[in-house]
Structure 1
Amino acid sequence: MFDTVLVANRGEIAVRVIRTLRTLGVRSVAVFSDADADARHVREADTAVRIGPPPATESYLSIERILAAAAASGAQAVHPGYGFLAENAAFAQACADAGLAFIGPPASAIELMGDKIRAKETVKAAGVPVVPGSSGSGLTDAELAGAAREIGAPVLLKPSAGGGGKGMRLVRDETLLAEEIAAARREARASFGDDTLLVERWIDRPRHIEIQVLADGRGNVIHLGERECSLQRRHQKIIEEAPSVLLDEATRAAMGEAAVQAARSCGYAGAGTVEFIVPGKDPSSYYFMEMNTRLQVEHPVTELVTGLDLVEWQLRVAAGEELPFTQDDITLAGHAVEARLCAEDPARGFLPSGGTVLSLREPRGEGVRTDSGLSEGTEVGSLYDPMLSKVIAYGPDRATALRKLRAALAETVTLGVPTNAGFLRRLLAHPAVVAGDLDTGLVEREADSLVPQDVPAEVYEAAAAVREAALAPSGDGWTDPFSVPSGWRLGGTPKPVAHWLHVAGQDPVEHRLGSGVRAVTADRVSVTVDGTRHTFHRAGDWLGRDGDAWQVRDHDPVEASLTGAAHAGADALTAPMPGTVTVVKVAAGDRVSAGQSLLVVEAMKMEHVISAPHAGTVTELDVTPGATVAMDQVLAVVDPDETPDTAEETP
């Protein structure tokens, strides 16, 4: 076993790898950008090395700086985690050339399986069924469009490099092919540095099933069962479980053997995942999609049902050990479900969010595991992936695991940064999810019903209670009676003081405290509304309950009416999230049509297109490509065309 291992990653996966290194008695080395100088993974490692400024291209994606950190720290091996350089063949080869063990497969396997086009051809030759689609690499836009029309809509555009849903585009309307191909290339180039695309037939209501494989350097390859990953948004997994309720033992064995053959076909070693698309109505008809040549985000569910530590076996295989067990030794016991906690705001269309973690509570206990990179004070910005942590629940059966995970998400508190915890909790209670009737489009179809449209009345009641508690007499000296919000009136009936409150995305509300019992402490507030007691976690102007959180700001209607916004209403185009402007398609003075794409803002590897709200003229354009913008910052202004109702009459 190695003495010292450098973890070439950040966040929850770096913390996760460090945990196993500590268990094995191996010294851990963290790396960090300036943005992560006080991050949790830095504090938990035995030592840490700065590798550059915040942009990933100058730090976590810099092979030279990672290798220099390994040399400076005396590391013998490098664990890449997932994301960043984990599936970069050049990085794996550079580690080998530097005399470092790369804790992953050979560079040749990464290169082969990282090219989805070559990967499909390779596994097809090994007898593994593949999804019908385009053939050949380096297709032009016209050739891709032609292949798509030949296959017939709907089709899926996919980057040949990378994974994680980045750059994938589902196209149901052939007239949009040119626009979608251009967008897919742009996202692929930004995410993977390679804009090569392929096109595949889209299978309606498919299920996403993946098989975990484990191989040593001596030709032994086994599989560790499957994971169901059908609950996705924008092709990104959000809930995963093991095993899948869809597969019977015969199908599980057949898919497992196909995954083993796929791994053998590329000379694989270490832990990897073979992903299949499966028609929900015919599980026996499964198709190879791709192979992820790294540890997967969802690996904990496999660990819980097999009892194996996959990071430990990655290390042992990289150190030259032979697998001491065979396929017959692998059994699956119980059920595990994982939820990915992401910095995104469901109430604002799941746009990436950010901020400072003011209060943190992560669930623990029997059958509950949290893999996290968070701590109180963590700054969540727009430079890196939005996933913050993972909450995993295990039970003897699926119903128990689901129940435990819902309860764990209700206990989760990350005040200061909007997350999807409440949304995930409601999703896990959806009748189709409970019944195991899943497909990759279920979340998109049901998303609106799982996001509350209004702020509950008790949230405003709690916010008002906090404000009045802050102004109440302290008891340690004289208090100006006119500063106390008692509602007292000379010769009149007391009237509760009005509090003007505002939650982003909602209209300001004038709220007066009710007569119910309330209690306010440093980190909690309880209020009674219509006879029901409601308790919230609180920090600053944030309130949280059952995985949901609200930032309730004070609103001054007089000031708002006097100053207003620099530009009002629909004329102003504002940033929907903190991020970077990557594309500007217009200039001041340009005429635009309603719905025309004007700018693209990127945050946390996600693009958001800013479109013209109406036909008109761009009168102001306040940003350029590369500009960093804050949420709600004005980007441009489009003055609408005059209509017969608004135009001045000609004398």
Structure 2
Amino acid sequence: MFDTVLVANRGEIAVRVIRTLRSQGIRSVAVYSDADADALHVREADTAVRIGPAAAADSYLSGAALLAAAARTGAQAVHPGYGFLAENAAFARAVTEAGLTFIGPPADAIELMGDKIRAKETVRAAGVPVVPGSSGGGLTDAELAEAARKTGMPVLLKPSAGGGGKGMRLVRDEGALAEEIAAARREARGSFGDDTLLVERWIDRPRHIEIQVLADGHGGVVHLGERECSLQRRHQKIIEEAPSPLLDEAIRTAMGEAAVNAARSCGYRGAGTVEFIVPGSDPASYFFMEMNTRLQVEHPVTEMITGLDLVEWQLRIAAGERLPFGQADITLDGHAVEARICAEDPARGFLPSGGTVLALREPQGDGVRTDSGLSEGTAVGSLYDPMVSKVIAHGPDRAAALRKLRAALADTVILGVPANTGFLRRLLAHPAVVAGELETGLVEREVDGLVVRDVPGEVYVAAALLRHAALEPGGVVGSWTDPFSVPSGWRLGGEAAWTAHHFRVPGQEPVTVWVRGSAADGEVRLGGLGAEPPVPGRGGVGETTADIVTVIWDGATHTFAAAPSPEGVWLGRDGDSWHVQDHDPVAAALQGGPGAHGVDALTAPMPGTVTVVKVAVGDEVAAGQALLIVEAMKMEHVISAPHAGTVTELDVTAGSTVAMDQVLAVVDPFEET
């Protein structure tokens, strides 16, 4: 076994690998970019080495920098985690050529299975059924379009060199092929450095089921059962579970044998995953999609039902050990479900978010596990993948695991960074999910009913009462209180006046909350500007601590996690969070509202980097014409003209870093004649 292992990754997977290394008595070496100097994985490791600036291309994707860090620290092996260089055959070869052990499969297996075209041909020869589609590599745009027409619409365009949904496009209209092929190539080139594409038949209402395999270097190969990964959004998995509620023992056995054959066909070694697409109406008709030659994000659900630590077995296999168990020794205990928490804002179309973690609570124990790269003070930027943590629950059966995971998500608090936690909790309560009636299009169809776009009134009331309480005297014994500083609304010879508190949540219209009396027990008017407010009532701040506030509003008690911010306060409940910002209506009016240019302005929908600028000041543009592309967390967002007109301002260039809601350009509409 190794004495020291370098973890060539970041975030939650780096933390997770480091903890297994510690449990095995192995020293860990973390690597970090300038953006991650104070990250949790850096603090968890025994040693940490800076490998470059914030850009991934100059740090986490720099094989030379990683190998230099390994040499400097005396590491004997490199664990790649997932993402970055985990499935890069050239990096695996470079590691072994440097005299180190790559904790993963042989470079030849990575290369073979990383090329989806060759992979399909290889496993087909081994008797594994594959999805119909194009054949051969290096197809031109015209050849891809012709293959799509022969396969029959709809089709799926997929990058040959990578996975994770990056560059994947579902095309239903033959007329859109040229545009979608160009977009898929661009994203594949940016994500994997290779824009080779293939075409596959799209299977309507499919289920995505994958088989976990372990293979040693002595011919031993077993599978550890399946994981259901059908709950996806934009081809990205968001909920995974094991075992699948679809499969019976006969199909499970057949798919497991097919996965083992696929692993043997490429000379696999280590932990890997064979992915299948399965028609929900006919689970016995499954097709090979691809093999992931690395640890999967969703590996914890397999660990929880098998009792095996997959990272430990990666280490043991890489060190030359034989698997001490055969297929008959593998048993599945209970059910496990995982939810991926991502820095994205469901209320704003799931655009990537960012910020600094101001308050954090992550459940652990009693069948619940959180794998996380977060800590209070962590800055979440737009350079890397948006997934920040995973919450996993295990129960004796599927219903128990779902209930436990919903409760764990409700107990999860991440304030300062908008996340999808509440959305995931509601998804897990959807009747189709509870019934196990899953398929890859379910989330997209039901998304509108799972996103909370309106801010509950008690959120504004809580922010107002907290601010009102902060204005009240501190009550220091013997101190003098200026009566004019007390927000009591007292005035000479008349009824007490109301104190107005103005707020705005990003993406929402401003709201005013009026309070009269004390914060502990006062009259509250939500949104009312006159004597007859739409929502009158009584409210008060109950018990508060450093990070919890209880508010009574019109007879109901509401408890929030709370964290102050420079702009106002963050409030969280049941996995949802809101940044309630102070709002100055006078300043907003002078500036022309939330945006100084009104509807003519194009603003950044997310923090990120401008990668493409297609226009210049003075250009005349058509309504809907693409003007700029902003990229964040490996996601492109096209900024289009809101109407026909002339570009009168352009405040960014390619490479500009932008903040959310920053003005990018202004398009003045053509004058009517």
Please report the TM-score for the alignment, with normalisation by the length of structure 1: 0.98
Aligned partner (choices 515, 518, 540) of residue 541 of structure 2: 518
1:552 corresponding residue in structure 2: 580
2:506 corresponding residue in structure 1: 504
Say whether the 8 Å CA contact 1:543–1:551 is kept in structure 2: yes
| Structure 2 gaps, min length 5 | 516-523, 525-537
2:533 corresponding residue in structure 1: none
Give SS of 1:516's match.
Answer: strand
Provide the rounded CA distance (Å) in 2 between the counterparts of 1:14 and 1:340. 16
Provide the rounded CA distance (Å) in 2 between the counterparts of 1:495 and 1:234. 52
Give SS of 1:550's match.
Answer: strand
Shift in Å at residue 139 of structure 1? 0.7
1:579 corresponding residue in structure 2: 608
Letter of the 2:511 counterpart: V
2:487 corresponding residue in structure 1: 485
**1:287-341 alpha-carbon deviations (Å, 9 max, x no partner):** 0000000000000000000010000000000000000000000011100000001
Provide the rounded CA distance (Å) in 2 between the counterparts of 1:142 and 1:257. 38
Size of the aligned set, in residue pairs, is: 644
Letter of the 2:117 counterpart: I
Shift in Å at residue 622 of structure 1? 1.5
1:254 corresponding residue in structure 2: 254
Shift in Å at residue 593 of structure 1? 1.3
Match status 1:596 vs 2:596: no
Aligned partner (choices 627, 632, 637) of residue 656 of structure 2: 627
Say whether the 8 Å CA contact 2:222–2:326 is kept in structure 1: yes
Letter of the 2:504 counterpart: H
Match status 1:536 vs 2:560: yes
Say whether the 8 Å CA contact 2:299–2:310 is kept in structure 1: yes
Give SS of 1:517's match.
Answer: strand
Give SS of 2:51's match.
Answer: strand
1:54 corresponding residue in structure 2: 54
Shift in Å at residue 64 of structure 1? 0.3
Shift in Å at residue 5 of structure 1? 0.4
Moved more, 579-588 or 211-220: 579-588
Letter of the 2:494 counterpart: G
Provide the rounded CA distance (Å) in 1 between the counterparts of 2:648 and 2:151. 44
Provide the rounded CA distance (Å) in 2 between the counterparts of 1:14 and 1:106. 21
Give SS of 2:590's match.
Answer: helix
1:222 corresponding residue in structure 2: 222
Give SS of 2:94's match.
Answer: helix
Letter of the 1:532 counterpart: A
Aligned partner (choices 559, 562, 571) of residue 590 of structure 2: 562
Provide the rounded CA distance (Å) in 2 between the counterparts of 1:144 and 1:641. 40
1:617 corresponding residue in structure 2: 646
Give SS of 1:225's match.
Answer: strand
2:195 corresponding residue in structure 1: 195
Moved more, 593-602 or 254-263: 593-602
Give SS of 2:35's match.
Answer: helix
Provide the rounded CA distance (Å) in 1 between the counterparts of 2:588 and 2:484. 25
Shift in Å at residue 484 of structure 1? 2.1
Structure 1 segment 304-323 matched on structure 2, within 5 A: 304-323=304-323
Letter of the 1:154 counterpart: P
1:360 corresponding residue in structure 2: 360
Say whether the 8 Å CA contact 1:567–1:637 is kept in structure 2: no
Letter of the 2:670 counterpart: D
**1:441-464 alpha-carbon deviations (Å, 9 max, x no partner):** 111111111111210010000000
Give SS of 2:539's match.
Answer: coil
Say whether the 8 Å CA contact 1:223–1:256 is kept in structure 2: yes
Shift in Å at residue 601 of structure 1? 0.6
1:636 corresponding residue in structure 2: 665
Match status 1:112 vs 2:112: yes
Letter of the 1:101 counterpart: T
Runs of 4+ aligned residues of structure 1 deviating over 4 Å after TM superposition are none
Say whether the 8 Å CA contact 1:5–1:29 is kept in structure 2: yes
Provide the rounded CA distance (Å) in 1 between the counterparts of 2:454 and 2:601. 24
Provide the rounded CA distance (Å) in 1 between the counterparts of 2:574 and 2:619. 48
Letter of the 2:483 counterpart: P
Give SS of 1:409's match.
Answer: helix
1:102 corresponding residue in structure 2: 102
Letter of the 1:474 counterpart: G
Shift in Å at residue 522 of structure 1? 2.5
- Cα RMSD of the aligned pairs, angstroms, is 1.0
Letter of the 2:264 counterpart: R
2:527 corresponding residue in structure 1: none
Shift in Å at residue 404 of structure 1? 0.4
Provide the rounded CA distance (Å) in 1 between the counterparts of 2:175 and 2:651. 32
Match status 1:407 vs 2:407: yes
Provide the rounded CA distance (Å) in 1 between the counterparts of 2:5 and 2:540. 56
Moved more, 485-494 or 593-602: 485-494
2:241 corresponding residue in structure 1: 241
Say whether the 8 Å CA contact 2:466–2:541 is kept in structure 1: no
Match status 1:168 vs 2:168: yes
**1:515-542 alpha-carbon deviations (Å, 9 max, x no partner):** 2332243322211223110010100110
2:450 corresponding residue in structure 1: 450
Shift in Å at residue 568 of structure 1? 2.4
Shift in Å at residue 152 of structure 1? 2.0
**1:153-201 alpha-carbon deviations (Å, 9 max, x no partner):** 2111100011100000111111111111111111101100001011111
Say whether the 8 Å CA contact 2:627–2:638 is kept in structure 1: yes
Letter of the 1:45 counterpart: A
**1:256-284 alpha-carbon deviations (Å, 9 max, x no partner):** 00000110110000000000000000000
Provide the rounded CA distance (Å) in 2 between the counterparts of 1:615 and 1:223. 58
1:82 corresponding residue in structure 2: 82
1:341 corresponding residue in structure 2: 341
2:152 corresponding residue in structure 1: 152
Letter of the 2:202 counterpart: W
Provide the rounded CA distance (Å) in 1 between the counterparts of 2:561 and 2:216. 48
Moved more, 281-290 or 175-184: 175-184
Provide the rounded CA distance (Å) in 2 between the counterparts of 1:415 and 1:490. 42
1:390 corresponding residue in structure 2: 390
Letter of the 2:634 counterpart: K
Provide the rounded CA distance (Å) in 2 between the counterparts of 1:472 and 1:522. 18
Shift in Å at residue 569 of structure 1? 2.3
1:428 corresponding residue in structure 2: 428
Provide the rounded CA distance (Å) in 2 between the counterparts of 1:145 and 1:584. 28
2:528 corresponding residue in structure 1: none
Say whether the 8 Å CA contact 2:465–2:540 is kept in structure 1: no
Shift in Å at residue 564 of structure 1? 2.8
**1:581-639 alpha-carbon deviations (Å, 9 max, x no partner):** 11112222222111111111100001111111111111222211111111111111111
Shift in Å at residue 369 of structure 1? 0.3
Letter of the 2:116 counterpart: K
2:518 corresponding residue in structure 1: none
Shift in Å at residue 567 of structure 1? 4.0
Say whether the 8 Å CA contact 2:620–2:647 is kept in structure 1: yes
Give identity over the alignment, percent: 80
Say whether the 8 Å CA contact 1:134–1:200 is kept in structure 2: yes
Provide the rounded CA distance (Å) in 1 between the counterparts of 2:5 and 2:554. 58
**1:123-171 alpha-carbon deviations (Å, 9 max, x no partner):** 1111111111111101111111111122222111100011100000111
**1:34-92 alpha-carbon deviations (Å, 9 max, x no partner):** 11111110111111111011101111000000000000000000000000000000000
Match status 1:527 vs 2:556: no
